[in-house]
Each structure stands twice: as C-alpha cells, then as structure tokens.
Chains A and B, each alone.
Chain A
Amino acid sequence: ETGVTQSPTHLIKTRGQQVTLRCSSQSGHNTVSWYQQALGQGPQFIFQYYREEENGRGNFPPRFSGLQFPNYSSELNVNALELDDSALYLCASSPKTWDRPQETQYFGPGTRLLVL
C-alpha cells in the first residue's frame, strides 16, 4: 500500500464523451504524475503537476488535461474520448523538493477505462 488512492476503479464510457479521473497523493507528497497503460504495454507518461502547475508533458494531445489542487490531489480530464483511450490510468505521487529533485514515485492502483 502506497497511500495513493484513485477513483473510480473502473469506468465505461462511449466514444465522444468526457471523463474525469481522480487521484489523492500520499501524505507529504506535492507532485503528481499521470500515466496511461494500454493492454500489454508499459505505462506512458502523460503529464506531471507540481505545486498546482503542469511541470512536464508527454506525447499526448491537448484533450488530455489535468488539475492539481492545494491539497495536492489531482484530476485527469479526457475530452472527446476515442476507442484507443481504453487503458489503465495510473497516478503516481512523489515528495519532490528543489534541493532533492530525484525522488521516487509511488503509484496508485489505477483506474481502468473502457471506451465503447
């Protein structure tokens, strides 16, 4: 157990809809990263939030967006869902500080999204 929680655990949407996934970071962690994991592949980095601002983004289109709140929890929003968005969405938190940037990320259990 890492202390990182995600909701919901499973979700079914139809193509074109919008979805919001939620993540609560581990206590004391100020950084949240989101990853997408398609079936049979390794997780792919979507973006990271640090102190409520986006701090790095992977190769994902703008319809993938996020937020981080003052309590460091985070949301991932995906608009105009496509069939290929079906995946396990993982959130990871880390206690990054300016003087110790190389911090380990701890993952939540993920949200499994199915787009029909």
Chain B
Amino acid sequence: DAKTTQPPSMDCAEGRAANLPCNHSTISGNEYVYWYRQIHSQGPQYIIHGLKNNETNEMASLIITEDRKSSTLILPHATLRDTAVYYCIVRARNQETSGSRLTFGEGTQLTVNP
C-alpha cells in the first residue's frame, strides 16, 4: 500500500470548515483513499473513502486531486466533538492472500477550539 504524509497537528475554530490534507504521491491506479478518525481512547471511526471522484456523505467531503497524488478531507462546520486524530489511508483492492489490512500512519491531531 502507498505511504501517506499528513501534518502532525492542526487547529480549527468551532463552526469553521476544517480542511485536512494528505499526500499520497506513490498511489497506484487501484488504490483507494480512506479516512478514519479516532477520538481519544476509542476505536477508529470510518469517515469516507474514494477512488478518483470527489465524495460527500453526512460527515464530510473528500476532494482528490486529478493526479490522485493528494487529497483533502473537509469537515464543513467543525464542532468540539470533531476533535480527534484523523488518519488518511491508501489501500489497494483486497489481496485475498494478504488480507484487506488498513495501514495506519501517525495521523493528524485536529483540535477544534471554541
């Protein structure tokens, strides 16, 4: 799976949009971009994923650049409860012999301030 690079920390004001960047310059054509977040001492929570088109759900939007070498997770109106570590993960289509593992990096600690 391709390696990802994220800033270690970011701050955002409550009510503002939080834009979390991720670089994945070695991504290959069959690899998806996944985003998870982990609130302190809880299990990671799935947010969104995409292959090459932009995606939106009730939690967030995912913008993937045309060359697919980077992406941005957007939380449109951040709240204090969005304070968490956000993980960007690039994951190949499942290899049946190796298991569909998620390879987590260090993530970005997002702090939403009142």
Contacts and interface: CB of A to CB of B under 8 A. Distances in A.
A107 B45 contact: yes
Interface in B36-63: 36, 41-46, 49
28 contacts: A2-B43, A33-B99, A33-B100, A35-B104, A41-B106, A42-B107, A43-B44, A43-B102, A43-B104, A44-B104, A45-B99, A45-B102, A48-B101, A55-B96, A56-B100, A92-B102, A94-B100, A96-B100, A102-B91, A102-B93, A102-B94, A102-B100, A103-B94, A104-B46, A106-B46, A107-B43, A108-B43, A110-B43
A110 B38 CA distance: 12
Nearest to B47: A104
Interface residues of B, number: 27
B100 A103 contact: yes
A42 B44 CA distance: 10
- Is chain A's binding surface mostly helix, strand, loop or mixed? strand
Interface residues of A, number: 33
Interface string A8-52: 000000000000000000000001010100000111110110100
A108 to B, nearest CB: 5
B106 A42 contact: yes
A48 B100 contact: yes
